[in-house]
Structure 1
């Protein structure tokens, strides 16, 4: 082969080799980059290497419209009305919810918040017809010749005037709403948180014969009838008693002596549900069934029968004090078995309050109570302060000691 041809072939070969080298490098580069991309891309279901933003949330971009969800009118999805019709419907719903809360014992307090006041429970009621007769006088309490068998009744009305407040000048003097539940009052017309011996002595009275004593007890309410929310969540319409009997009785073991003016006395324990029943004294029954009494249950009375609350006061006085720090130590109950006053205490006339009520059928009534006492019947109680004129008290003592019924 001529030398000129070998030079041209060599040049051609060099060009071909260069092109092969060039294309081979590009293919290798593409293969390498494709393999690299395949190694760094995560599997479709592997989220571990995703950024913190949730896949269901779209990250905002500079040109995305601003989120104005807070600027839109409240929608039904928010639980609020959208439009006049829905507004009316929601208003009716809210009104019904508030009514239900009142029935359940939730009431707005001074801070505007709802305060739960539960009770009573269905288990707090029992049919009086299923209770065995249990109201018997112990043999030891049958009157002895030295006893006093008479009685004196002070007639003071049924609180037709509606004298009520949530005060208790005996236990929490000078404190408005010191009782945290509503009291019915008969007798002294002025009784409130700020009553004093002087103010009570100067006031008028609902009682006959000038008895200015004050007699009071927590109200009973009809739970089937809504009313303005009562003190501390005690809801229901207040019931006025159909009758109120205030009878002072004697002692089966001794003659009674006159009560001192301004003597304070309490019976029962408004916190018996949490304190225990050591001081619980109230009894519940029905007219026509008074031989059957309950202490920790409300009675369900048959038609034509009325609910009865009976509250006996302590009647053994220490002979010196008209009150004491706990409002109990200066007075005591006589011995349950014998009716005698113990430890040198003197027998004074024993007040018995008997209150009757027409109530709705079923477990639909309750006494007012402190919130934590759940309107339990065992918390029933009453208060009394003696402001009888001296001559009236002396007349009552003579009547009781002579075995007569007066008043």
Structure 2
């Protein structure tokens, strides 16, 4: 039997089981250094004493900072959704994230609902900051095996995100929706050729072609409807979900969300004169769902959430039906919603392949940083940003970033899990791009609208400096756990807890007034700090 101590499918080590004189089974991990016990560092190739990593971080330049403390997810907002990289896809991440800041956010939350949400940030920042959780798992886990797994491609639904479609545009929109369906079906046929293996070259070719086709169709739909923001729905993901086969666990009551029938795809074409009214009612439905989800985070035992939501939806659906001629039948049947248990299971919110107790961060430091080379311009509201890459194995390492270190020795970063000196905390340092193309809040691959500055802090041509976000997360992890390789990152199944798959995501929901405070602070030489309440 082959097993792997976290992380990395490529880091498999053989196990020899012998019987000691007492008759008890003793497990030895065989590595290049010979037979050693499971706690020996020589077998843990994904872990490295931080003292053995040479300093590799340039000395910091004088830089102004604006610090926001949004807490450490003390209220327990966890989700396997990724609203930046996989918008509209439930459990799109296939691993659990810590969320701080915005409390309403899910894979489906509209910008309007985000702007109305509550927040854990004391200064009123409604932005969403989220990253994969770290777990401690003291068991020896079987290595993920692709076997006969057929990879599949999932894409965000465009139908469920459209505004009301005028009758004169319905045929054109439907043609482009059919293009999206056909291109996805063709891509899944092509990707099936890599059954039982991860083929980075094929993945890039198939996803690249699909992305181009979707971008063209979505651009045409956006042009017809005059709708911004649909570019977030372009990109798709390759999933190796077959690696999850056979997982079973008890459902958890934590982090419930509401599940409501889709309304947008049930609407007929509407008259030009009523489009605005219909869209206002659709936006109201989105806000009602977001409000209910936020309430379930704050008061999970509240038994009135569903009845209140149904009453609000019924009134909105009535107004919606009244606005459309001829009046559509059956919308009233869409008022009732249910509580949907999350995919993470059991009291530890485990997912297939992502097991163990979640470690709550000891501290989370969120900094907006100035540009040493000049002034910064305000981030646009609802800007999407990410750093790192959750899939360096299946997509290649181009966008992956070393992020691991220890407190007290932050002059070095590693792409392995650090073993820290006594008294030092395990840290993850996530730097986001600090340059913006000046026009887009998102892009087809969720990256092209942003860029990193060069070593001279200069942005690429056509980009301008914005507040550069850094998130530093610290954990108290017992040194014995570190030495035995018993802590690791949640990940996609094919990454098998690869520390190089670390990543972080952000949606800017700062108000214009708050963003002005940030840029003024960074451009006038002051250090600004606002504390959090939780």
Q: Please report the TM-score for the alignment, with normalisation by the length of structure 2.
A: 0.51
* Alignment counterpart, residue 298 of structure 1, candidates 417, 430, 433: 417
Question: For residue 146 of structure 1, what is the aligned residue in structure 2?
Answer: none
How many angstroms does 1:118 deviate by? 5.4
Aligned counterparts of 1:246 and 1:306: Cα–Cα separation in 2: 17
Structure 2 stretches lacking a partner, 5+ long = 13-43, 141-346, 530-534
Asked whether 1:206 is paired with 2:120, we answer yes
**Cα–Cα, structure 1 residues 136 and 302, in superposed 2: closer, same or farther, change >3 Å?**
same
* Alignment counterpart, residue 288 of structure 1, candidates 405, 408, 413: 408
Larger Rg over CA atoms: 1
How many angstroms does 1:325 deviate by? 0.6
Higher RCO (CA-CA < 8 Å; seq separation 6+): 2
Asked whether 1:180 is paired with 2:302, we answer no
Describe how 1:14-163 pairs up with structure 2 within 5 A.
122-137=44-59, 142=61, 149-163=63-77
**Cα–Cα, structure 1 residues 206 and 229, in superposed 2: closer, same or farther, change >3 Å?**
closer
Aligned counterparts of 1:180 and 1:338: Cα–Cα separation in 2: 38
How many angstroms does 1:199 deviate by? 1.2
How many angstroms does 1:273 deviate by? 2.9
Asked whether 1:385 is paired with 2:507, we answer yes
How many angstroms does 1:364 deviate by? 1.3
How many angstroms does 1:330 deviate by? 0.5
Query: Aligned Cα RMSD in Å?
Result: 2.4
| 8 Å contact from structure 2 (residues 66, 367) kept in 1 | yes
| 8 Å contact from structure 2 (residues 98, 130) kept in 1 | yes
Aligned counterparts of 1:307 and 1:120: Cα–Cα separation in 2: 22
- SS state at 1:259 partner: coil
Question: For residue 197 of structure 1, what is the aligned residue in structure 2?
Answer: 111
* Alignment counterpart, residue 355 of structure 1, candidates 473, 477, 482: 473
**Cα–Cα, structure 1 residues 316 and 187, in superposed 2: closer, same or farther, change >3 Å?**
same
| 8 Å contact from structure 1 (residues 120, 376) kept in 2 | no
- SS state at 1:314 partner: coil
| 8 Å contact from structure 1 (residues 119, 376) kept in 2 | no
How many angstroms does 1:137 deviate by? 3.6
Question: For residue 255 of structure 1, what is the aligned residue in structure 2?
Answer: 375
How many angstroms does 1:284 deviate by? 0.8
| 8 Å contact from structure 1 (residues 211, 392) kept in 2 | yes
Aligned counterparts of 1:132 and 1:238: Cα–Cα separation in 2: 30
Describe how 1:219-230 pairs up with structure 2 within 5 A.
219-224=133-138, 228=348, 230=350
Aligned counterparts of 1:212 and 1:307: Cα–Cα separation in 2: 28
Aligned counterparts of 1:188 and 1:321: Cα–Cα separation in 2: 22
Question: For residue 164 of structure 1, what is the aligned residue in structure 2?
Answer: 78
Moved more, 367-376 or 280-289: 280-289
How many angstroms does 1:233 deviate by? 1.2
**Cα–Cα, structure 1 residues 383 and 129, in superposed 2: closer, same or farther, change >3 Å?**
same
**Cα–Cα, structure 1 residues 398 and 137, in superposed 2: closer, same or farther, change >3 Å?**
same
* Alignment counterpart, residue 524 of structure 2, candidates 394, 399, 402: 402
How many angstroms does 1:187 deviate by? 0.1
Q: Please report the TM-score for the alignment, with normalisation by the length of structure 1.
A: 0.67
Structure 1 stretches lacking a partner, 5+ long = 1-100, 106-116, 144-148
Deviations along 1:118-159, one digit per CA (max 9) or x if unpaired, are: 587610100112222222248xxx56xxxxx31101110000
Aligned counterparts of 2:424 and 2:492: Cα–Cα separation in 1: 28
Aligned counterparts of 2:516 and 2:360: Cα–Cα separation in 1: 31
Aligned counterparts of 1:229 and 1:191: Cα–Cα separation in 2: 18
- SS state at 1:232 partner: coil
Asked whether 1:237 is paired with 2:151, we answer no
- SS state at 2:352 partner: helix
Aligned counterparts of 1:320 and 1:229: Cα–Cα separation in 2: 39
- SS state at 1:266 partner: strand
Aligned counterparts of 2:105 and 2:119: Cα–Cα separation in 1: 10
Asked whether 1:333 is paired with 2:452, we answer yes
Aligned counterparts of 1:224 and 1:355: Cα–Cα separation in 2: 22
Over 3 Å off, 4+ runs: 117-121, 225-229
How many angstroms does 1:282 deviate by? 4.1
| 8 Å contact from structure 1 (residues 281, 312) kept in 2 | no
| 8 Å contact from structure 2 (residues 59, 411) kept in 1 | no
- SS state at 1:208 partner: coil
Aligned counterparts of 2:9 and 2:409: Cα–Cα separation in 1: 29
| 8 Å contact from structure 1 (residues 219, 368) kept in 2 | yes
Asked whether 1:275 is paired with 2:405, we answer no
- SS state at 1:189 partner: coil
| 8 Å contact from structure 1 (residues 263, 386) kept in 2 | yes
Question: For residue 495 of structure 2, what is the aligned residue in structure 1?
Answer: 373
